[in-house]
Amino acid sequence: MTQVVTFQEINCDNGKKIAVITLNSPKSLNALSAEMIDLLYPKLMQWQTQTDIAAVFIQGEGDKAFCAGGDIVHMYQAMRNIETQDNSNINSQDGYSPELIDYFTKEYQLDYLIHTFNKPFIVWGSGIVMGGGLGLMIGGSHRIVTESSRIAMPEISIGLYPDVGASYFLNRMPDNCGLFLGITGASINAADAKYCHIADYFMANDNKNALMNQLTQLDWQTSTEINHQALSKLLFRFEQDSVSDLPDSKLSEHKTLINQITDFDNLNDIVNTILTTECEDKWFIRAQKSLKHGSALSASIAYHQLKVGKSLSLADCFRMELNLSAKSGKFGEFVEGVRALLIDKDNAPKWHFDSINSVDDKVVDWFFESKWSKEAHPLVGLGL
């Protein structure tokens, strides 16, 4: 069988090595499976302590995607194996999927490891980078996007919410971009990614082989700080050669509008303003459509998680999100969203609430009540 993740150690001129990871499931757009996570985590732990490894480089197989998200078809099957509770039974302890909780626990541990990795971590974020794919990319020390990069947190369309640390990184975007992207699931390009601080460098796809060659010629040192600086200088030179290919940034173009339509103290006004704003830009119209047809509950959760996440550390954001993910698997909105989009493909999800106004505050509150005590939380040791 084909290995879903491949690992290489490429020799450099000075005796050091570049560790190369390739997500190798192009038919699924390199969707992040549990098997991938189980391979990635121990290998990264090994490379952290392996003295001849100077840096890590992660990429996706094929031209279409770095990683299009988590393996939500498998998550759907895991949720279907548990009798889904409706919203009248939210206080029941039944209905949680151990398999789903295990997946998200391991995924967030992997994401956190990348955020805190002790060596340069280069991400080739070409093609589609969505959901769980952005979770892998966001924590890299040197995040590269290309002319084909298409990035989004589209969870509102499947009845989930922006996870993989989004409570942390969406809050750190300028001009309320994080809130806008979180509740609309809007897709952004390479220039947008640089503008909102989720990518560091732009490079033309055709320069990838030249970059890999140059990485082997860098004079890697034992000092992580020196290696970071040398790598940054190299990538900056590549970016200068590619800058003419950089697309226009929609976020930058519409920053005044985005600020205006999100400048309210409640979600109802924000959503109504977004939906009723007249704009001829096709990108903005697509964002309106995804918000209109997405889950009102998902938007409500996203809005609340960003408010709570402002004061949380990265580790605490992941702990909050694991609880939200466990409850998303129980409540039924998530399984219905995946059914409509990817299983039956009827694109007609039956959401629990038909508008932001009708979302029950008690249900939203329940999502943010921890399923576990502090001591029993599966991510209790994260960041310690």
pLDDT of 243 reads 87
Is position 382 within any domain?
Answer: no
Q: Considering its fold, how many domains does the chain have in total? A: 1
Is position 99 within any domain?
Answer: yes
Q: What is the CATH number of the domain that holds 41?
A: 3.90.226.10
pLDDT of 84 reads 46
CA 345/CA 347 separation, integer angstroms:
5
Task: Give which of 365, 30, 325 is closest to 158, Cα–Cα.
Answer: 325
Is position 377 within any domain?
Answer: no
Is position 356 within any domain?
Answer: yes
Three-state SS for 361? helix
Q: Which domain holds residue 130?
A: 5-367
Q: Which residue has the tokens 């047809």?
A: 293
Task: Give which of 272, 334, 271 is closest to 303, Cα–Cα.
Answer: 271
Is position 378 within any domain?
Answer: no
CB 75 within 8 A of CB 103: yes
Is position 337 within any domain?
Answer: yes
Pairing of strands 53-60, 121-125: parallel
pLDDT of 94 reads 76
Contacts of 278 (CB under 8 A, 6+ apart): none
First to last CA, the chain: 38
Q: What is the mean pLDDT of each run of 10 residues along the chain (384 residues)?
A: 93 97 97 98 98 98 97 93 57 82 98 98 98 98 98 97 98 97 98 98 97 98 96 97 92 97 97 97 97 98 98 98 97 96 96 97 97 97 91
pTM: 0.96
Residue 70 φ then ψ, to 5°: -75, 165
How far from chain centre, in Å, is Cα 144? Answer: 15
Is position 380 within any domain?
Answer: no
pLDDT of 83 reads 56
Half-sphere exposure of 55 (CA within 13 A, CB side): 29
Residue 118 φ then ψ, to 5°: -95, 10
pLDDT of 85 reads 46
Is position 376 within any domain?
Answer: no
pLDDT of 2 reads 81
Write out the two tokens for 314.
Answer: 């990265």
